[in-house]
Amino acid sequence: MEKILTEEEQRLFSDLIDNAKKVVICAHVSPDGDAIGSTLALKHWLTRKGKQVTVVVPNIFPDFLHWMPGAEEVKVYLKHEEEVNPIVAEADLFIIADLNDSARMQELEASVVANPAPKIMIDHHLNPTDFCQLVVSRHDMCATAEVICHLLHQLGELDSITIEEATCLYAAMMCDTGAFTYNSNRAVVYECISYLLNRGIDKDKIYRNVYWTCSLARMRLTGYLLYVKMETIPEMHTSIITLTNKERKLFGIKNGDTEGIVNMPLQMSGMSLSVFLSEDTERAGIIKVSLRSVDDFPCNALSAQFFNGGGHLNASGGRLSCSMDEAVQKVHEAIKSFAHLLK
């Protein structure tokens, strides 16, 4: 296991935790498995320390993550703004998990930044900004949950975490690596997993909860998207899939039913880049962009340059304010710009 804090940082971290009474843990907009798993693991850990802890996310998170221990207590800002604002205002410590910039909290950002209480960032994305008093960030790690594992080990507490905390951490790492199929070649990742297994988690059940619990609507939607909607560009080793809200209603799909679809085209031989465009269900005129790649194609660079986003080398996201047709045109423009890396 790796030491991720200096002695001075460790003292600061411990002091901030010890002196806090009301802690708010925040994640990024459209929270994924790492965001939810990491925030819930921290919530359980801090609650055991006697803290009053609230997890707040900007908007809804996928239904397939609602089985995680404590997920029913997560506050969604866009749904509970009047309830959440006083909680945020009264917090004496914030933990900012799985995001590197306050802007990624979107509507939640203003109220969090307005509170002068100290803030701790725990993250694994590139280029963290400096809006927090303590930044615990390692972009070489596979997930924010892995950063937390190393942090708890350095504090001497990884051996004593509960099965609920271990379950959330494992699910988070699994989700952010596609069930350990990418960004997971470092041996220490599996050292972390061994600690979590020793706490009694059922990794097979966690996998089933995330990947093998799809609805009939999801199954039919998948066939439709792959057969009818997928555009392939063989000379660029790229595929594009689009999904409108009208199609969501047609199939009756739930939040989270599209999870993982962006990865599927990469199963085709010779495919390097997969792009999934979907209309935002909560904001009109917004197209969400999901990017996945293999080998060394930089999804994060593509997303930053063309889609107002970022992320990791092989998994990134962004968003556009335009129609679906305009978004597709933007993707084609982006692909042409990066043709030297795709051909």
Say how far apart CA 139 and CA 123 lie, in whole Å.
8
User: Boundaries of CATH 3.10.310.30 in the chain?
Assistant: 216-342
- Confidence tier at 336 by pLDDT (50, 70, 90): very high
CA distances, 20 to each of 43, 252, 308 (Å):
13, 44, 35
Say how far apart CA 151 and CA 135 lie, in whole Å.
12
User: Boundaries of CATH 3.90.1640.10 in the chain?
Assistant: 7-211
Q: Residues 40-92: pLDDT tens digits?
A: 999 999 999 999 999 999 999 988 999 999 999 999 999 999 999 999 999 99
**Looking at residues 25-52, what average pLDDT do you find?**
97
Q: Tell me the whole-structure pTM to 2 decimals.
A: 0.88
User: ∠ CA(33), CA(284), CA(131), 5° rounding?
Assistant: 50
- Which residue's entry shows tokens 């971290």? 13
pLDDT on residue 269: 95
Under CATH, what is the fold of the domain 216-342?
Answer: Diaminopimelate Epimerase; Chain A, domain 1 (3.10.310)
Say how far apart CA 263 and CA 112 lie, in whole Å.
34
- How is domain 7-211 classified at the architecture level of CATH? Alpha-Beta Complex (3.90)
Q: Residues 200-237: pLDDT tens digits?
A: 999 999 999 998 888 899 999 999 999 999 999 999 99
DSSP helix/strand/coil, 164:
helix
